Amino acid sequence: MSKRIVIIGGVAGGASAAARARRLSEDAQIIVIERGPHVSFANCGLPYHIGKEIPQREKLLLHTPESLAKRFNLDVRTRTEAVAIDRNAKTVRVKDQVGAISQIAYDDLILSPGAGPIRPNVPGSNARGVFTLRDIGDMDAIIAYIDEHAVKRAAVIGGGYIGVEVAEQLACIGQKVTLVEALDQVIAPLDPEMAGILAEELRKHLTLTLMKRFERIRTDDAGQHATGVILDDQSVVEAELVILGLGVRPDVSLAKNAGLEIGKLGGIAVNEYLQTSDPHIWAVGDAVEVRHLPLEQQALIALAGPANRQGRMAADNILLPRKKSYAGSLGTAVVRVFSKIAACTGANEKQLRRLEKPYVPLYLFPGSHAGYFPGAKSIAMKLLFHPQSRTLLGAQAVGEDGVEKRIDVLATAIKGGLTIDEIAELELCYAPPVGSAKDPVNLAGMMMQNVADGLVKTVAPGDVVQAKPDDAFLLDVRSRQELDRLGRFRSAVHIPLDELRGRLDELPKDRPIHVFCQSGLRSYNAARILSHHGFDVYNVTGAATALRLFQAVANPGS
């Protein structure tokens, strides 16, 4: 009765599945097929060895094929490629490193092929010095190339997670780096104004080129080595090293050729149990389409966390009597960009707009811990919520400290279906060096309550920046000292909050009033006062700080 489980792919999802399967069944036969020479390595760590922040290469190899095989009593076959699946015979045809073909029978098959980097077929893309970064071999090749060719200048194409991480690490080892991104922002899971904070940070350390598309690679006269990249405005980025970080595409050829169902987005289709259209074939990780929970639609989410947990779950569902369901993903992610951390979970505003889902955006800029204790750092937070159902749809945060903590808590709240009222009432850690009596998460919940309860009307800072003077009256209630120190907004009229009750006659009743301060709290007080006196008042969510973010977005190339 011992099961024969064949796993294709020996990293993240595949390695997790193999280890879990063995823990569940001491007598299962477990065969791991891996195309490359390495198994169970730390993909996410690759940029950091290039940048020498992880000095020891062996740290990335969590297991050798031999140690993995011994620890879990597995049959691990590296440098072996699965070339076809015969679903009727329940066999996989594999080709080993010398080209020998063999058949492996399975009772259950787990596909964990991952997603491969997109490599555009443009002139020069096969020149030496042009790399993608997916595995240990790519990393070794990049490091060797930098050394051998005394590389001084690097172009990184694509401002997604990998592009930004590689660009940061190359800058850290003294490379002159140009990061090229076709969109008007880096890190697409963030909204543009939040990504703008990262753009500013990146520009302190490297050249960031937004809204220019990479067109081709320039090579030396022999056509051998890359010497730069040419952008769509025909400008040239001088670089001996080019890293392509143009995103990834699920590796579905094996699944497709076996006739398994492929989803609309190009990933392997699986049911809630992670079963493909063939009940004896399971699929996990970057290659599968999952349910995006707040967007309520399928998504491709190439992240290590879900891959690992899906691998474990596939093994559970093969070997345990009670099947577990994969509830879907939030796309929770984090990236460090020099001294900044950016994190997000759930839906962003671009996605909600595209799908025409109702939402309200909200910004806040709380400190990482109690303001009276030294060292607190401001966190830029953006929340997207649905006031009628009182649910949170997504959250983004950028700052230096305490960023991922708040996103982790909010991701937990979304996953658990907590209402905004429950978020306002969360009981989180507070001691002066660590948190605040009203944690940023509580504050966010309270602000969402105020909107949902109709206590305050808000206007998005992006709309304020675009509004014409006749559309609305812009009121700044900050103190005079703040204006002197931080600058004023030309289009705004200034009345400090503490004078507001006595100067109501200076305000119009024929137009909406958009009111802001520095943090959003005093303008909320102001909005309550004005509303009481019959003004049509809207609190600018995110206040002056958010307005500045949107002014920066209006001019992303700068």
Q: Residue 1: is it exposed, middle or buried by C-beta count within 10 angstroms (0-12/13-18/19+)?
A: exposed
Would you give the binding string for its own copies spanning residues 489-528, x where CB under 8 A is met? --------xx--x----------------------xx--x
Between residues 182 and 426, which has the closer beta carbon with respect to its own copies?
426
Map the footprint of its own copies across residues 158-217, applying CB under 8 A. 161, 165
CB 461 within 8 A of CB 541: yes
Between residues 104 and 362, which has the closer beta carbon with respect to its own copies?
362
Q: Given strand 236-238, what is the order of strands in its sheet?
A: 214-219, 226-231, 236-238
CB of 173 to its own copies, least distance (A): 15
Query: Is 44 a catalytic site residue?
Result: yes
Between residues 245 and 435, which has the closer beta carbon with respect to its own copies?
435
Q: How far apart are CA 410 and CA 383, in angstroms?
A: 10
* Bridge partners for 95 per DSSP: 81, 101
- For residue 23, give both structure tokens: 């823990």
Q: How far apart are CA 305 and CA 360, in angstroms?
A: 29
To 5 degrees, how large is the angle CA 479–CA 484–CA 487? 100
Task: From 182-190, 241-249, 352-360, 427-435, give the range in contact with its own copies by CB under 8 A.
Answer: 427-435
User: Binding to its own copies by residue 84, rule CB under 8 A?
Assistant: no
227, 442, 458, 518: which one contacts its own copies (CB under 8 A)?
A: 442
Tokens 């996953």 belong to residue: 415
User: Binding to its own copies by residue 432, rule CB under 8 A?
Assistant: yes
User: Binding to its own copies by residue 420, rule CB under 8 A?
Assistant: no
Between residues 23 and 213, which has the closer beta carbon with respect to its own copies?
23
* Bridge partners for 102 per DSSP: 94
33 closest CA partner among 114, 133, 87: 114
Q: How far apart are CA 197 and CA 51, in angstroms?
A: 23
Q: Residue 222: is it exposed, middle or buried by C-beta count within 10 angstroms (0-12/13-18/19+)?
A: exposed
Task: From 74-82, 239-247, 252-260, 416-424, give the range in contact with its own copies by CB under 8 A.
Answer: 416-424
CB 516 within 8 A of CB 463: no
Between residues 251 and 439, which has the closer beta carbon with respect to its own copies?
439
For strands 236-238 and 493-494, give the pairing. Answer: unpaired
Between residues 104 and 335, which has the closer beta carbon with respect to its own copies?
335
Q: How far apart are CA 487 and CA 489, in angstroms?
A: 7
Size of residue set near its own copies by CB under 8 A: 94
User: Binding to its own copies by residue 533, rule CB under 8 A?
Assistant: yes
Q: Among the options 44, 172, 429, 517, which is catalytic?
A: 44
CB of 526 to its own copies, least distance (A): 10
Between residues 38 and 90, which has the closer beta carbon with respect to its own copies?
38
Map the footprint of its own copies across residues 48-77, applying CB under 8 A. 48, 53-55, 59-60, 62, 70-73
Task: From 115-123, 203-211, 269-277, 439-447, give the range in contact with its own copies by CB under 8 A.
Answer: 439-447
Between residues 69 and 231, which has the closer beta carbon with respect to its own copies?
69
99, 174, 416, 469: which one contacts its own copies (CB under 8 A)?
A: 416
Would you give the binding string for its own copies spanning residues 332-361, x where CB under 8 A is met? xxxxx----x-x-x----------------
CB of 506 to its own copies, least distance (A): 18
User: Binding to its own copies by residue 271, rule CB under 8 A?
Assistant: no
Would you give the binding string for its own copies spanning residues 290-329, x where CB under 8 A is met? -------------xxxxxxx--x-------x-x-x-xx-x
CB of 124 to its own copies, least distance (A): 31
Q: How far apart are CA 392 and CA 384, in angstroms?
A: 6
Helices 192-203 and 161-172 sit at what angle, rounded to 10 degrees?
A: 20
Q: How far apart are CA 384 and CA 361, in angstroms?
A: 5
CB 265 within 8 A of CB 289: yes
Residues annotated as catalytic (active site), given as ranges: 44
